[in-house]
Structure 1
């Protein structure tokens, strides 16, 4: 068979990339840390590869489940060697092209009490509801920013929770101005109408310009304090209200998973920088999906198809596919304009508010370290407070710490994923023909 393409990530973008590369005649190795393909969006729905249902025995496709890419190694001008940990064994794959589609994860801004049991990221709550049919609580508030709050509320209702209210932090004026005038994507409008109808049937109010600024409870969440916000997300004095709840689900947008892209040498400016063919600045490396911009599953799939097709040696003349990709990029720009994070969110914090949960570094710790003239460089502050140096390696708190310190997030690590010393010392095993 022709070229060998390694695709990292089996969400919509990765599945699209695998489909595109196979259609171009390439041999594909599809990797994901999860047991099943599909990513967050296809947790329970039938998984598709391009158009047809994904068959793991598709000719030319090797599906590597529960596999982690922990490092890259360059030995020439082509795609890097891909070091993979699978089942406790080390492998090294030598692709002709590499497509990175690791996706993104929820971003949650800290607030007093956000570390109490009963505070969930919206994505985790949805995963439990969709994947396990488990409700995170009986009375739940869903808060943050972005259209993702609506399907999360819908999933909670279907799992049996009572959703007290859905809170969008941005005022209606910001949201409407960001989305602008038509044309809008018909599918998105229909999806929004469906969620709105479901929430209306359950009498769930959706409030704009309001969010959760504190969670309270003895050992777990018992109530939340919500407040009205100005456009910059500063709190309107006297607008605070308390609600008795046993869970709160929060999402302030998404953070792209940039560790692998940075380890591969790709240029990053908040997202992975790609050209019109989804090529990154690193030779032989393509990127697709939410690492290049948050735009939802259809846009990620279109980017993946284009990246995989060209990585697999297909003709770059695919105008219909490029139009779909460009529509997704336009949607991403509107989404970012309609649901920005206001600069004044840090006013919610108190000195004792935990910012880095791994190392229990507080907002006061960061402020004191940043005010020390002898060691006020961002790196010195992180070393002094250990913020971002815990087990998650800053994946959760990294953007928040960077905003507090006024510095760019730190992503670069030679080893992109945790690996045991015994695994690191073990010899590299060659993949058998069945595994390729």
Structure 2
């Protein structure tokens, strides 16, 4: 019986666990949170949940069924923080974990050596910098939704949502359900680009009709609460001293370049921004998995990576949403357990991968975003490095390598280790120098999560030798 270890308890990881279990494998799931579900099915703990929990989650019945299957048949380790992955010759890598509260002092160290490994660590939001984006009251859209789903807390009373992509719409719904007034939604892509992405070959979208139903629900909620939706506009500046008090909206052309003279100021007490997602590949790259030019993990038709015995699924292999993650997870789990994936899962992956490519064509980040930032705009918030400093150093040194630029400016070397600024730093370097060596290098982190020196030392201390049995002549 194969031992399959799955890192991540979101849609992809849960689907992988259920499929591997059905195929007869012995399955262990590592999830850093207090429950399964990941960021997509982020919810109140069972003791605090209410009867209306399903109203905040799409596919809630799917989640409940997957969770029941997994908790009954798998070893689920919650509060499991994977801090390192060690390559292990031709075998799957060793996985080092600290189990316990992230800020606890008594976490339990564990090391796993599975027969097969599925990495399903998901993605995180990407936020493009603009003047004032570091003010209190400026949130990522995902943080606002997490507070709404996980705590029933609104980030403000008068909120603007801005950025790009369909994810903005469920965030609006979550804000409305927690009592906030949403003053508007600003989508950076304009009507022509949206049409070019979504309208051609409409028959390709027939297999994803559930997405249209989901969209209809969001549109109804926005219409009921009279939330305006603007296209080809975005937040280019946040105003305030102690916190955000207003934002400036500006029009954008098809390349997302700011249009002079199109500015408009709106009073708010909070703004939620999201410009898409980037994969959380630090564990996959530590394991030796190859990534493509966009930073996504390279997989084959059965979700195998370039490392023997290691599979990957979900946002790591391409941003596509929960439905695509569920399909990829099922394929990866089946293959990891030695069973060919179901044709239905392969077809579902194909349909939702097509949807994902259309979504990227309509809403993907365009290079003109760099016109929003002034030289004084903070790029790396951990180390207080500005856009102007990075551009100046890149121009003077001509460096095409991220390592030298990071060491010179300290951008990306703070507590978040480049998770917030890394991809923006890469884009700026490409513009300034015309190229980039080792794209995605900001995701390389030998230690993936914070570990105390005492915890690290404990894992490196050799275990005491077993006590030797007494000699016979000493004890006749």
**TM-score range relative to shorter protein:** over 0.9
Query: Which residue is 2:396 aligned to?
Result: 372
Deviation at 1:413, TM superposition (A): 2.7
Deviation at 1:49, TM superposition (A): 6.0
Q: Deviations over 1:221-277 (max 9, x none)?
A: 000000010001111111100000000000000011010110010010121111000
Match of 2:180 among 154, 161, 174: 161
TM-score, scaled relative to structure 1 = 0.94
Counterpart-to-counterpart distance in 1, 2:413 and 2:381: 10
Query: Which residue is 2:440 aligned to?
Result: 409
1:127 paired with 2:146, answer yes
Deviation at 1:181, TM superposition (A): 2.9
Asked if 2 retains the 8 angstrom alpha-carbon contact of 1:369 and 1:376, the reply is no
Instruction: Trace 1:249-328 onto structure 2 (pairs within 5 A).
Output: 249-269=272-292, 270-316=295-341, 318-328=342-352
Counterpart-to-counterpart distance in 1, 2:111 and 2:402: 35
Query: Which residue is 2:266 aligned to?
Result: 243
Q: Deviations over 1:147-189 (max 9, x none)?
A: 0000001110111111000010000111121123312211001
Runs of 5+ in structure 1 lacking a partner? 430-436
Match of 2:451 among 414, 419, 422: 419
Match of 2:170 among 151, 174, 178: 151
Match of 2:382 among 358, 369, 376: 358
Counterpart-to-counterpart distance in 2, 1:49 and 1:188: 17
Instruction: Trace 1:47-196 onto structure 2 (pairs within 5 A).
Output: 48=62, 51-54=65-68, 57-59=71-73, 61-87=74-100, 88-179=107-198, 180-183=200-203, 184=205, 185-196=208-219
Secondary structure at the aligned position of 2:265 is classed as strand
* Cα 1:283–1:47 shift into 2, 3 Å: farther
Counterpart-to-counterpart distance in 2, 1:374 and 1:151: 42
Deviates more, 1:110-119 or 1:403-412: 403-412
User: How many residues align structurally?
Assistant: 426
Q: Deviations over 1:349-407 (max 9, x none)?
A: 11110000110100111012112238675322211110001111111110000001113
Secondary structure at the aligned position of 1:367 is classed as helix
Counterpart-to-counterpart distance in 1, 2:67 and 2:440: 39
Bigger relative contact order (CA 8 A; separation at least 6):
1
Asked if 2 retains the 8 angstrom alpha-carbon contact of 1:370 and 1:377, the reply is no
Counterpart-to-counterpart distance in 2, 1:427 and 1:377: 33
TM-score, scaled relative to structure 2 = 0.87
Deviation at 1:57, TM superposition (A): 4.1
Query: Which residue is 1:31 aligned to?
Result: 30
1:22 paired with 2:18, answer no
Q: Which has the larger radius of gyration?
A: 2
Counterpart-to-counterpart distance in 1, 2:399 and 2:337: 49
Deviation at 1:309, TM superposition (A): 0.8
Runs of 5+ in structure 2 lacking a partner? 44-53, 55-59, 101-106, 431-435, 462-476
Deviation at 1:282, TM superposition (A): 0.8
Secondary structure at the aligned position of 2:202 is classed as coil
* Cα 1:163–1:182 shift into 2, 3 Å: same
